[in-house]
Amino acid sequence: MSIIMLLTNTENSYGLIAKLFHWIMSIIVIVMLVVGVLMDNFLELPLKWQLYGIHEATGIVVLSLVIIRLLWKFYNANVLLPEDMPNWQKKPLILIYICYSF
């Protein structure tokens, strides 16, 4: 198996780069949520504005990663849903993919 096959998506599985995008963005979004909650609890302390800066910067990073991830998704093959998956599971999943991409 070549290194290109490990990095890019196939019809059966996501590649290493798509998996890294997924987990890095997941961690950053969780950090943003925690920082946002902490920021809301510090009324007028100087720490609130430091947290605000962190929250804003990570938001810009997430936006950049979403754009790069969408470009990567259009460049790669789509992973196919299993044929034996019932339609009642496929329809919400497709909607979730659309919402997640935008």
Give dist(CA 94, CA 67) in Å, integer: 20
Q: What is the pLDDT of residue 83?
A: 85
Express each pLDDT in 23-43 by its tens digit.
998 899 898 888 888 887 766
For 12-86, where are the alpha helices, taking DSSP H only? Answer: 16-41, 46-75
**pTM of the entire predicted model:** 0.71
Q: What is the pLDDT of residue 49?
A: 82
Q: pLDDT below 50 — which residues of the chain?
A: none
For residue 43, what are the CA distances in angstroms to 23, 39, 40, 52, 89? 32, 8, 7, 12, 44
Q: What is the pLDDT of residue 27?
A: 92
